Amino acid sequence: MKKKSIIAILIFCISLTVSAQKIFDIKKYGAVGDGKTLNTKAIQKAIDAANKNKGGRVVFSKGKFLSGSIVLKSEVELFFEEGAILLGSTNPDDYPKFEGIRALIIANEAKNIAVNGKGIIDGQGRELALAIDSLHHTGVRIDPKYNYRRMRPEDGRGKLISFVKCDSITMINITLKNSPGWVQCFTECKNIVIDAMKVNSTAYWNNDGIDVNGCENVRITNCNVNAADDGICLKSESPGLQNNNIYIANCRIRSSANAVKFGTGSYGSFKNVTIENIEVYDTFRSAIAIESVDGAEIENIKVSNITAVNTGNAILIRLGHRNGDKPGYIKNVSIKNVKVQVPFGRPDIDYDMRGPEVDYFHNSFPASIAGIPGHLIENVTLENIEITYPGRASKGMAYHPLSRLKDVKENINGYPEFSMFGELPSWGFYVRHVNGIEMKNIKLILEKEDFRPAFVFDDVKNLRMKAIDMPSDKINQIIFKDVSSSNLDSESLKRKIEPEQNKFELPAH
């Protein structure tokens, strides 16, 4: 049975269970939908009553319901009718920590919980952040570690949704917007179904769309994510947190950082992850970023059918050693059927709150697969990959020409991003410290001239290349340095690219 069918059946079964639940209308517990009355206590009373009843549906009818932190409990569904809006309070005092968690909707060690319906959860994140900023500067609520970008969870912003150690979570059709921090984070949870969710959160910095932190059996499907930080992000923020059996499919993502990312927190493991049928657009960093820099074990990753336009980088696979006793590993990664268009300018220019920036003008960055000396990325397959690059590279900014490949910085303990090595000596792919890489049916297109070669391989073992299609305007498009056991099918190197092949459009949606 196909995965889509399994998910549909699971959602149908959940809906049957929900339909039999008792209804708890928040208005009957004193909630007022005028957008001004603080309804925290009334909403919590409805949740507590449903929990005490051993299950029930807490209903938000049409209206704007202002609230501070509420705690979702076992066997309770929050259901938002069309036209219903839950507004997050702009007063930081309305978000006390619960079991160490600060968020608008909190759940801790709960089972069988849901947030469903065609309504909206609006965190009013920018207003909350500006209120915190004003309180600091007027001396009412001084933050001793003040940072105008409000990078710390201690500053009072929190998340829109935070579920910790929960089992059996369902989120269907709901719209989440304007979070003060990460939109939603699932930590040490299992059996999660997220389907047909809309995320529109560009209110402030740190607005990750969906964060999965050490979770098992996760299905994220048919979602539309627009985030000022990473779109869909798998994390392992502390040692021992394991991400296992994750399925992400049929999503559309726009991000001022990365579209789909593993990390940056990468202390535990990421295993058995499938990502397929993803559309990416207007995204600053990588369409796919797979990173282990804190000791994480990453293996058995399958990525396929990715289309990205106006996106700053196609693929980043990085094994580093930022934290932890020893480096982790990355092995058995398959990336197939990918089509990416990289622009010359900044692709997220229309965001008014942009994510972390590259603080210098730069040549376009190639797709990078890079381990560190003595710790090689293993067994990577790239097949049916087409990337269109802008070219127009400046020799004046090529700080590491081919004669100085050894000078490309390792940045072993650096923050992992496509720009972490500075200027790179290739325009298509840069591969370093890898054992076992197969590249089959790779097509690289240049819109304008680029003086750099298409491929640079440095400290690579067991390289196989077949059916490589790239421009023919110059020789030496593939550069080897310390490459052993290579198998390059020279007869399959196609050199001519017709002009009409340069057209690149995102499929109609």
Per-residue pLDDT tens digits for 332-390 = 999 999 999 999 988 988 888 777 666 667 899 999 999 999 999 999 999 999 999 99
Lowest mean per-residue pLDDT among 168-177, 456-465, 493-502:
493-502
Per-residue pLDDT tens digits for 170-182 = 999 999 999 998 9
User: Cα-flanking dihedrals φ and ψ of residue 404, to 5°?
Assistant: -130, 45
Residue-level pLDDT at 508: 45
Token pair of 199 as six digits: 């995320």
Please give the residue that has the higher pLDDT: either 425 or 14: 425
Average pLDDT, the chain: 90
Residue 502 binned pLDDT confidence (cut-offs 50, 70, 90): very low
Are 417 and 368 in contact, with CB atoms under 8 Å apart?
Answer: no
Residue 441 binned pLDDT confidence (cut-offs 50, 70, 90): very high
What CA–CA distance (Å, rounded) separates 155 from 183?
Answer: 16
What CA–CA distance (Å, rounded) separates 494 from 496?
Answer: 6
* Portion of the chain with pLDDT greater than 70, in percent: 88
Q: What is the pTM of this model?
A: 0.92
Are 473 and 496 in contact, with CB atoms under 8 Å apart?
Answer: no
> Does 139 score more than 90 pLDDT?
no
| 330 Cβ neighbours under 8 A, 6+ residues apart | 290, 292, 298, 299, 317, 319, 371, 377, 378
What CA–CA distance (Å, rounded) separates 161 from 434?
Answer: 39
Residue-level pLDDT at 361: 77
Residue-level pLDDT at 505: 41
Are 259 and 312 in contact, with CB atoms under 8 Å apart?
Answer: no
Token pair of 53 as six digits: 């009843």
Other C-beta atoms closer than 10 Å to the C-beta of 399 total 14
User: Cα-flanking dihedrals φ and ψ of residue 495, to 5°?
Assistant: -105, -20
Residue-level pLDDT at 132: 79
Average pLDDT of the residues in 390-394 = 94
CA 392 to chain centre: 29
Average pLDDT of the residues in 183-190 = 98
Per-residue pLDDT tens digits for 233-285 = 999 999 999 999 999 999 999 999 999 999 999 999 999 999 999 999 999 99
Half-sphere exposure of 1 (CA within 13 A, CB side): 8
Average pLDDT of the residues in 70-97 = 97
Please give the residue that has the higher pLDDT: either 346 or 72: 72
